[in-house]
């Protein structure tokens, strides 16, 4: 019953052909401009990672004069950046899976049922979110030390749930709300349990939303620095942002390796984005569950 997407322009009346072309041209123009603005700093990072140190400082230019891969060599050979990427992957995947699962349950509960404290729960989850990290890190490190999880990836995963759970619970509520209730009820009449209704109907229908939420959770965990800085001590447990931060050891910034690190550590995210893209578009086909 639901089409692939809101393709409004497909059925443009023939008389409006000229206007359609103009509109399409405008769309491309605006998007290209936006992409250019978005890419400027990223382009700057990328070329800086290929420059020689002297060139970075002395001859600031919009493109490199000579290309070097030495910065990447430093990153991988001297700094063991692969290990940091591995740690970050472990932490981010774990956080995303746990967080999206638990918060789907919570969000569903808060959207579909009416019970006492429902509003309160929602608010508690958000209020928790208001505490700035700069304040959280001391009590959290006390907590982790007591749980024996200091200086470990497990501890980091647990701690990252503090910011990923509120985020995903709240966003998922927004997406679940837009799933028509009738579909679910129909499914239950057809014999699905509540769980079944959630995982067979609501989740597939909100797939674009869940994909988006996964992207945010993963990215948030991937890029977190302050808590990792405080909770992780051993070199073997360092995450990617932490390893990058440790490149800056004094008041001279190692621009080359730093930017090489930024490029490398954003690659897994870019792959994730392309994959998640797929689900964001594909999500709607699942919507043709018969209702």
Partner 1 sequence: MAEKHHWTRRRVLGTTMAGAAAAALGGKRAALAAPALQKGSKVTFWGGLIFSDKANKLLVDTVNKWGADNGIQTEAVMINQNETVQKVSAAVASNTMPDALDLSLDLLLLLSRQGQFLPLDDVYDSIGKAQGGWYAPVASSTDTSKIAGGRTGIPFGVSGNLLLRRDDLLSKAGFSKPPTTWEELAQQAAAVNKPPLFGLGLALSNVGDGNVQISVMQSYGGRIADDAGKTVTIKSDATREYLRWVKAAWDKKLFPPGNTTWDGAGDNQAYLAGQAAFIANTGSVGIAAKSQDPELYKATLYSSLPGGPKGVVSPIAPQLRAVPKSSKNPDAAKALIEHLAQPAFMNAYYEAAIYGPVLQDQAKFKAFTGGDPILAGLLDLVQKGTAPAYPDVFNAGYADMFNNFMIPKMVQRVVIDGWDLDKAMDEAQVGTQAIYDKYK
Partner 2 sequence: MSQAPTPLTSRPAGLAAARQAAGRRRWSAATQDRVFAYALVAPALLLILGLVAYPFFYAIYVSFTNRVVGNDGEWIGLGNFRYLAQSAAFSSAIWNTVILVVASDALKLSIGLGLALLVNQRFPARGLFRSFLMLPWAMPAFVAYLTWRVLYQPIGGGLNLILTGTGIYSGIIDWLGQRATAMPAVIAASVWRGFPFWFVSILAALQTIPAELYEAARIDGATAWQRFRHVTFPAIRPVLIVVTLLSSIWTANSFESVWLLTQGGPSDATMIFPVLAYYGMQTQRLGEAAAVSVAMLPVLAILVLVATALMQKDDEA
Residues that bind partner 1 (CB under 8 A): 53-54, 57-58, 60, 77-78, 80, 83, 137-139, 141-142, 144-146, 150, 226, 229-231, 233-236, 245-246, 248-253
The one of partner 2, partner 1, none whose footprint includes residue 68, by CB under 5 to 8 A per kind, is: none
Instruction: Determine if 204 is a binding residue for partner 2 (CB under 8 A).
Output: no
**Largest alpha-carbon pair distance within the chain?**
72
Q: For the segment 48-87, give every residue that binds partner 2 (CB under 8 A).
A: 48, 60-62
173 vs 237 by CB, closer to partner 2: 173
Q: Going by C-beta distance under 8 Å and a sequence separation of 6 or more, which residues neighbour residue 48?
A: 56, 255, 256, 259
144 vs 237 by CB, closer to partner 2: 144
179 vs 231 by CB, closer to partner 1: 231
* DSSP letter string, 32-49: HHHHHHHHHHHHHHHHHT
Q: How far is CA 123 from CA 130, 170, 240, in A?
A: 11, 10, 33
Q: For the segment 129-168, give every residue that binds partner 2 (CB under 8 A).
A: 129-136, 138-140, 143, 158-159, 161-162, 165-167
Distance, CA of 2 to CA of 68 (rounded, Å)? 52
119 vs 139 by CB, closer to partner 1: 139
Distance, CA of 4 to CA of 162 (rounded, Å)? 35
CB of 53 to partner 1, least distance (A): 4
Of the candidates 226, 63, 252, the one whose C-alpha atom is nearest the C-alpha of residue 133 is 226
The one of partner 1, partner 2, none whose footprint includes residue 262, by CB under 5 to 8 A per kind, is: partner 2
The one of partner 1, partner 2, none whose footprint includes residue 159, by CB under 5 to 8 A per kind, is: partner 2
58 vs 114 by CB, closer to partner 1: 58
* DSSP letter string, 198-251: IIIIIHHHTHHHHHHHHHHHHHHHHH--HHHHHH--SGGG--HHHHHHTT--SS
Indicate which single residue of 68, 245, 286, 289 sits in contact with partner 2 (rule: CB under 8 A): 245
CB of 70 to partner 2, least distance (A): 19
201 vs 258 by CB, closer to partner 2: 258
Q: No. of H helices and E strands in the chain?
A: 14, 0
- Cα radius of gyration rounded to whole Å, the chain: 24
Indicate which single residue of 17, 44, 82, 86 sits in contact with partner 2 (rule: CB under 8 A): 44
Which range touches partner 2 (CB under 8 A), out of 73-81, 89-97, 230-238, 258-266?
A: 258-266
What are 163's two structure tokens?
A: 């910011």
């Amino acid at each position: 019953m639901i089409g692939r997407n809101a393709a409004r322009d497909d059925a443009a009346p023939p008389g409006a052909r000229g206007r359609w072309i103009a509109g399409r041209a405008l769309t491309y123009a605006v998007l290209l401009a936006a992409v250019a603005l978005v890419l400027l700093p990223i382009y700057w990072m990328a070329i800086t990672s290929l420059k020689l140190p002297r060139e970075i400082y002395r001859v600031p230019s919009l493109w490199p004069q000579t290309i070097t891969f030495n910065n990447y060599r430093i990153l991988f050979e001297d700094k063991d950046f692969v290990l940091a990427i591995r740690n970050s992957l472990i932490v981010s995947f774990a956080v995303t899976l746990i967080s999206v699962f638990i918060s789907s349950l919570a969000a569903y509960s808060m959207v579909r049922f009416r019970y006492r404290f429902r509003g309160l729960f929602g608010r508690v989850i958000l209020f928790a979110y208001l505490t700035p990290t700069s304040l959280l890190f001391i009590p959290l490190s006390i907590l982790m030390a007591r749980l024996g999880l200091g200086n470990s990836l497990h501890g980091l995963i647990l701690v990252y749930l503090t910011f990923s759970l509120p985020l995903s619970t709240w966003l998922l509520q927004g997406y679940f709300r837009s799933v028509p209730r009738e579909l679910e009820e129909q499914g239950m009449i057809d014999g699905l349990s509540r769980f079944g209704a959630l995982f067979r109907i609501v989740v597939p229908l909100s797939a674009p939303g869940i994909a988006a939420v996964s992207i945010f959770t993963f990215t948030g965990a991937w890029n977190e620095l302050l808590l990792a800085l405080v909770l992780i001590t051993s070199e073997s447990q360092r995450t990617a942002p932490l390893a990058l931060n440790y490149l800056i050891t004094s008041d001279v910034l190692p621009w080359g390796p730093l930017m090489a690190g930024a490029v490398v550590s954003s690659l897994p995210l870019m792959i994730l984005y392309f994959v998640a893209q797929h689900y964001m578009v594909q999500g709607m086909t699942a919507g043709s569950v018969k209702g």
